[in-house]
Amino acid sequence: MKYFWLGGFLLFLTWACSSPTTRQESASTPIRIRWAYDAETLDPMALPNQNAIDVATLLHASLLQIDYKYNRYAPALAQSLPQITLVGDSLTSLDYYLRPAATWDNGQPVLATDVDFTLKLMQCPGLPNEGARSQFSFIRKIQLDPADARHFTVVCRGQATELATTSGDYPILPEAVLDPAHTLRAISLAALQDWPESRPPAPAVAALVQRYQQADLARHPERLPGCGAYKLAAWETGRHLLLQRKAHWWADALRPASPVLQARPQQLDFVVIPDDAVATLALRRHELEVYSPVPARFFQRLQASAAAQRELFFYSSPSYDMVTAGFNTRRAPLSDKRTRQALSRLFDPVALLKATQLGQGLTTVGLLPPTSPYYNDSLPPLTYAPPGPWHCCSRRAGGGSPMAPGGTRL
């Protein structure tokens, strides 16, 4: 179904609260973090929500990860950001080196062949990889260096600036666990991407898909060792998910320590509390250490409380969320852009911002945040103008009495 997206875009603050625990601190004391919903699945090929993505980042590691202090990508498994070379007028070559210290839990090094395997796994037909398959299809080739097992080059379709960071933003998985015979090495990445749907998968791919499905990684991520700082300790769906810090993690020895490779808590306990009021009460009772994001009205109430001011730490940071309205343009009344433009005048972004975020933040004009260098600040923002729709629809009707969007004269 085709949709035309129309809406008001809001840039506002993300609020968070943390509570200094009153429990007896020990190495086994978990940091309890509120989740509004469960991760649902931890299959690295099919991460359905942000909570699942966050846990996958802690279990595994990517080439590049976001340094939230500076809101930019920083090297994780990669030794540095990739070296960029433009090839002709339509390709980009990105040169990567992996950190020599990076290892799997069994002490074996993380190699370029693991990156090659991960990229191919995201393109294998028969796996629940539709999202990753689409998102990373711009990577058309990976070239391994026969003289250096930690050096590789990815060739990308296009020359957009963000390719340099997007090319490294996915969890790297161990080839030795899922493909110990290295059967995927004989099949190119492009061949997997271009594999016809009507054609049966290659025997090596079919066997790999069967092994992957049998592992049931969605519910048993512990069957796929990662190179991240944590491992899964417990998971009760809809209640909580507990991660345990690895006693010996390769990044602990890095000097200087990378900001995206620091993991201080020994345990992270993600507690599922769907109701905001119940979560706020749990925070006040010291049953949570971290509550983020906090709805604006609860945040302001807590800030106004003298007791909460003594008990809690308050944080805020910019975030970007979109409130959109989707119209099915297959329906005749909505197929005309003037009808959609008329309906846009019935949205009140300013009032919506005031009602949902208590006026904190600002309205914007598109999908990109104002902090992006590609943000188009010349576009006029949506304005609430109820008479506007009828003026627009009257022009569409060719004069005479106004016409409602459904085509009925009023």
Q: What pLDDT shows up at residue 393?
A: 55
Dig out the tokens for 203 from the structure: 């025997």
Q: What pLDDT shows up at residue 311?
A: 86
Q: What pLDDT shows up at residue 3?
A: 27
* Residue 113 structural domain: 44-227
Mean pLDDT of 379-398: 65
Q: Is residue 112 part of a domain?
A: yes
* β-pair type (267-272, 31-35): parallel
Pick the last residue of a domain from 172, 196, 227.
227
Q: Is residue 377 part of a domain?
A: yes
The type of residue at 261 is L
**Does 340 share its domain with 197?**
no
Give percent helix, percent strand, percent coil of the chain, each to the nearest 5.
30, 25, 45
Q: Is residue 98 part of a domain?
A: yes
CA distance 74 to 312: 31
Q: Is residue 289 part of a domain?
A: no
Q: For 172-222, how does the pLDDT look when each residue is reduced to its tens digit (9 = 90+)?
A: 999 999 999 999 999 999 999 999 988 999 999 999 999 999 999 999 999
Dig out the tokens for 76 from the structure: 């994780």
Cα 236-250-57 angle, rounded to 5 deg:
40
Q: Is residue 239 part of a domain?
A: no
Pick the last residue of a domain from 212, 227, 242.
227
**Does 72 share its domain with 219?**
yes
Residues 6+ apart with CB under 8 A from 269: 30, 31, 32, 33, 240, 241, 242, 243
**Does 75 share its domain with 201?**
yes
CA distance 403 to 410: 6
Pick the last residue of a domain from 207, 227, 247.
227
- Count: domains in the chain: 2
**Does 211 share its domain with 340?**
no
CA distance 340 to 329: 9
Asked if residue 399 has pLDDT above 90, the reply is: no
Q: What pLDDT shows up at residue 301?
A: 87
Domain with residue 218: its CATH number is 3.90.76.10
**Does 51 share its domain with 185?**
yes
* End-to-end Cα, the chain, rounded Å: 31
